[in-house]
Structure 1
């Protein structure tokens, strides 16, 4: 059966990458997976935020990486969506791991290059080891070298390449990076590529589908394709 993956938590109902969005997704039993975005504070703590800059989803300014955890935690990460979410904070990855453990699969996107955030792979893996959650997560990134680095550090955790576009030699790229998940923007994903990847033993995540007709179409390609959406309710009516 197709897995429903809530994008940045249930971001259609609450501010993305916040504990409210996480809890809303956890409260719906039919949501089996959740995608989040992780960067590092200037003092090296993994935190949830998508953009490299603070301006869109908080009342802060500048780069995420230039702020300490204390400074990031002092920002309002909810009012940009609706005043009723005023006071929502940027969560740490550890907070989210504690909330999610044993309840759903967590797709952790490393919003980084290894040059931008040296040590990010090690820090995330340390937290997964600490909370015994390596079997409950995917680690994915647009930076394929970073995913290769994760694989070199840990041979057990599931890893994935995020792709926007339709590159040649896609299967070869997955093999070279040691990845076992293909996470592809749905406009570039085809039925043929989906079936080929799944038949070769790869998991396939299609993102980000919010139109019900697009959701239904991609679901029809293969029962194992995973649908990443801001609006899980629009998918669940087909499940």
Structure 2
């Protein structure tokens, strides 16, 4: 089993959640404008990818278009070309695909790519998004890592791009927060798949960092990140456990 390490910069810089977005400044989530702003500020960038109808990895968080655009319907029912032409609310650009975003970042800051679960129940009905992502990141020369809430997605990425560092996005999986059965939430909460998928980090829910399993993984050498920090005071508490953070809504501290 391969377990590539995170590049050192991942433990040094805060990551802008869905890039450095601020819709009041014309920078929607996961937009090119938000990515440029994060690069200019020297932050790492966390982005999400969803699958288009024709198998492209699109940089977009939600499964449905309605919250972030004026169009309704599921992302995966639209072609990549159609999605590129759908304007993000609060900005003046369409939805980018992953290759375009990687070309824009071009190694200037580290980038963390989260694959959204395509199974719907954290199962194994996967493949097209992982394949599209692996193809897009093949040959990328900058610091990059991949992660997903679905450990089966991370396991597949281990096969498709074994040289790319990978992690599991983790959570307290509280009842009511997730449309998942209790047995699935209980399983995922325990983070039992860390070694199976060859992970080298987790990105854990910020208000659950005192979980004993998090401390256990850190003791074993895992890099601990967390989501989503929304204030300097919350950051200070999180950094008692976390090596780095994913943040939004304020200017996270940069190392000297």
Counterpart pick for 2:129 among 93, 99, 120 = 120
Tell me the TM-score normalised to structure 2 length. 0.80
**Would you say the 8 A contact 2:209–2:241 is kept in 1?**
no
Kept in 1: contact 2:148–2:154 (CA 8 A) = yes
Note the C-alpha offset of 1:17. Answer: 0.4
Query: CA shift at 1:66, angstroms?
Result: 0.2
Question: Aligned pair in 2 of structure 1 residues 65, 191: CA closer, same or farther (>3 Å)?
Answer: closer
1:229 — aligned with what? 247
RMSD: 2.4
| Alignment equivalent of 2:228, drawn from 208, 212, 220 | 208
Deviation digits for residues 76-126 of structure 1 (CA, Å, limit 9, x no counterpart): 1033xxxxx2x2211111111011122111110001235666321122111
After TM superposition, the structure 1 stretch with the greater mean CA deviation from structure 2, 114-123 or 211-220, is 114-123
Q: CA deviation at 1:192?
A: 5.7
Q: Which residue of 1 aligns with 2:157?
A: 150
Equivalent pair of 1:171/1:197 in contact (CA under 8 Å): no
Question: Structure 1 residues 24 and 126 mapped into 2: Cα distance closer, same or farther (>3 Å)?
Answer: same
Pick one of 89, 94, 97 that aligns with 1:92.
97
- Evaluate the alpha carbon distance shift between residue 116 and residue 51 of structure 1 in structure 2; reply closer, same or farther with a 3 A threshold: farther
TM-score by length of 1: 0.85
> Contact conserved, 2:190 with 2:213, CA < 8 A, in 1?
no
Aligned 8 A contact 1:10 1:232 in 2: no
Contact in 1 for aligned 2:126/2:153 (Cα 8 Å): no
Match of 1:183 among 183, 203, 216: 203
Distance 2:212 2:220 in 1: 12
Deviation at 1:207, TM superposition (A): 0.5
User: 1:232 Cα deviation (Å)?
Assistant: 5.1
Q: Alpha-carbon deviations, 1:103-151, whole Å to 9, x = none?
A: 1111100012356663211221112114345xx2111111111111111
Among 161, 164, 168, the alignment partner of 2:168 is: 161
The DSSP-based 3-state class of the residue aligned with 2:64 is: coil
Conserved in 1, the CA contact under 8 Å of 2:51 and 2:75? yes
Q: Which of 143, 148, 152 is the aligned partner of 1:141?
A: 148
1:11 aligns with 2:18: no
1:173 aligns with 2:193: yes
Please, which runs of 5 or more residues in structure 1 have no aligned partner? 80-84
Give distance in 2, aligned partners of 1:49 and 1:23: 16
Range that drifts further, 60-69 or 209-218? 209-218
